Amino acid sequence: MSRDEIIRELDRVTTRLDTLAVNRIDQRVIDTVHATACRIVESTNDPQRPQDAELPRVGPIALAAQLTIVVRDYLATTTAASRDAAVAEMLTDLRRSLP
């Protein structure tokens, strides 16, 4: 999978999140997006990130923005193609899990 596929999946997920009615974004959705974002952060090579750094939890309105920042940070690093494939799969799985 290429980085273009990561961007394409990110666009699909963020569009879905941005168009969901806020009352449809329940705690399960928030937790799923947060867990995916955390896994992407863990996949990001950032030697400057403190070991104890935690991704903050955000509300429904900020989910797409947080995910975009996390993915853009990931894309700004050099990674193996296998890691890119894993991130693309994470985003695809997230998109499929959304209401």
Q: What is the pLDDT of residues 1-20, one digit of tens each?
A: 689 999 999 999 999 999 99
Print the domain residue range for 34: 3-97
CA atoms within 13 A on the CB side of 15: 7
- The count of structural domains within the chain is 1
Closest CA relative to residue 75, chosen from 3, 1, 2, 12: 3
* Full-model pTM: 0.93
What is the CA angle 75-60-85, rounded to 5?
A: 25
Q: What is the pLDDT of residues 46-91, one digit of tens each?
A: 888 888 889 999 999 999 999 999 999 999 987 788 899 999 999 9
pLDDT at position 1 is 61
For residues 31 and 75, give the distance between their C-alpha atoms in angstroms, rounded to a whole number.
Answer: 23
CA atoms within 13 A on the CB side of 81: 2
